[in-house]
């Protein structure tokens, strides 16, 4: 095993250990904020599977997030407070919606794909807004019960929700890492780079894009379910196109096509929004300005910036070590 893999493993372990200690280090408000960062990190990673790795820019991803939130909430209200049952409902309904939307959307390219996903998302938003008997309409679903483990305690305290979300986040990271490093994941990158060539060598690119779309939508529904647990409230706002735009900002600012870039983008956007909104209602202008600056000056996003800083530090260390070795060698010869 190479030294780089050892260092990476140590780094991941240190970050996870710090995350496990956070509930004892911060208050309930900031712990809920960190839980929200993890949830939107999952949401952004789900979109990144499409945008960053497959080359499909979607403006309708909020549909899967919102449907997951509604499905999990309705399961908690009308069926059972069982955590796993509500999660299953959230993921399953998002998966079915993604299968339908993906069937039509992945047959077109570029601007048409973007507009189709936006149109489907707005249709789902309009349905949730009008179907007030089920969704609560504009008022949303309030008082969503907290989930509970089968035969176990209710997961309602901030530290419990944080640990639940952290556990799901770690599982999603591991699953995505395996998925993207598989031959299927590498084929998705090939489709992003040159779909015509991938078709020429025999890859069923539409099928591959469909599968990626379904996996992506399912993960977004999983994030939506966790969001419903955190807030205890769901409204059509979670389905609106602005939510899709916000998570797309997270992916691009964090670094599309990288595993952890979208998580960095989610943390940056949410923390910036929270800080700015405490001073002014114009936080959207600040986020928009930050996005423009990143696109112009840091096109690789936060992940690309971090990688370039690490590479520079490594080159500087290597150059310094070589220089010192040469000086020592010359001094030895002079003696």
Q: What angle do CA 146, 150, 152 make, to 5 degrees?
A: 75
Which pLDDT band, with edges at 50, 70 and 90, does 214 fall under?
Answer: very high
**pLDDT, tens digit (0-9, with 9 covering 90-100), for 27-51:** 888 899 999 999 999 999 999 999 9
Q: How far apart are CA 39 and CA 62, in angstroms?
A: 13
The answer on pLDDT for 1 being more than 60 is no
pLDDT of residue 187: 93
Domain ranges of the chain: 28-240, 303-335
The answer on pLDDT for 263 being more than 90 is yes
Which pLDDT band, with edges at 50, 70 and 90, does 23 fall under?
Answer: confident
The answer on pLDDT for 260 being more than 90 is no
As a three-state string, the secondary structure of the chain is CCHHHHHHHHHHHHHHHHHHHHHHCCCHHHHHHHHHHHHHHHHHHHHHHHHCCCCCCCCCCHHHHHHHHHHHHHHHHHCCCEHHHHHHHHHHHHHHHHHHHHHHHCCCCHHHHHHHHHHHHHHHHHHHHHCHHHHCHHHCEECCCCCECCCCCECCCHHHHHHHHHHHHHHHHHHHHHHHHCHHHHHHHHHHHHHHHHHHCCCCHHHHHHHHHHHHHHHHHHHHHHHHHHHCEECHHHHCHHHHHHHHHHHHHHCCCCCCHHHHHHHHHHHHHHHHHCCCCCHHHHHHHHHHHHHHHCCCHHHHHHHHHHHHHHHHHHHHHHHHHHHHHHHHHHC
Residue owning tokens 């894009």: 209
Q: How far apart are CA 230 and CA 36, in angstroms?
A: 8
**pLDDT, tens digit (0-9, with 9 covering 90-100), for 232-242:** 889 888 898 88
The answer on pLDDT for 311 being more than 70 is no
Which pLDDT band, with edges at 50, 70 and 90, does 131 fall under?
Answer: confident
Closest to 215 (Cα-Cα) out of 179, 263, 169: 179
């Amino acid at each position: 095993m190479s030294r780089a893999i050892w260092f990476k493993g140590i780094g991941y372990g240190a970050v996870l250990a710090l995350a496990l200690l956070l509930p004892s280090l911060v208050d309930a408000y900031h712990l809920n904020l960190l839980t929200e960062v993890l949830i939107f990190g999952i949401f952004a990673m789900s979109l990144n599977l499409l945008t960053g790795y497959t080359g499909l820019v979607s403006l309708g991803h909020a549909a899967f997030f919102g449907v997951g939130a509604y499905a999990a909430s309705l399961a908690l209200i009308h069926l059972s407070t069982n955590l796993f049952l509500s999660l299953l409902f959230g993921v399953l309904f998002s998966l079915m919606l993604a299968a339908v939307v993906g069937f039509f959307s992945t047959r077109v390219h570029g601007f048409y794909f973007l507009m189709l996903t936006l149109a489907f998302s707005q249709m789902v938003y309009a349905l949730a807004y009008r179907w007030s008997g089920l969704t609560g309409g504009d008022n949303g679903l309030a008082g969503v019960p907290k989930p509970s483990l089968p035969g176990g305690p209710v997961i309602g305290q901030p530290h419990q929700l944080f640990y639940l979300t952290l556990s799901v986040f770690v599982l999603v990271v591991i699953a995505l890492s395996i998925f993207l490093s598989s031959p299927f994941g590498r084929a998705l990158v090939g489709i992003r780079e040159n779909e015509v060539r991938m078709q020429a060598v025999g890859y069923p690119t539409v099928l591959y894009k469909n599968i990626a779309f379904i996996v992506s939508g399912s993960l977004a529904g999983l994030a939506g379910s966790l969001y419903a647990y955190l807030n205890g409230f769901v409204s059509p706002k979670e389905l609106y196109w602005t939510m899709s735009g916000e998570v797309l900002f997270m992916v691009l600012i964090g670094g599309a096509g990288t595993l952890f870039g979208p998580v960095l983008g989610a943390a940056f956007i949410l923390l910036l929004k929270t800080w700015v909104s405490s001073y002014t209602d114009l936080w959207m202008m600040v986020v928009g300005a930050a996005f423009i600056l990143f696109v112009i000056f840091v096109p690789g996003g936060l992940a690309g910036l971090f990688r370039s800083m690490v590479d520079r530090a490594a080159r500087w260390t290597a150059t310094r070590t070589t220089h010192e070795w040469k000086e020592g060698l010359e001094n030895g010869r002079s003696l």
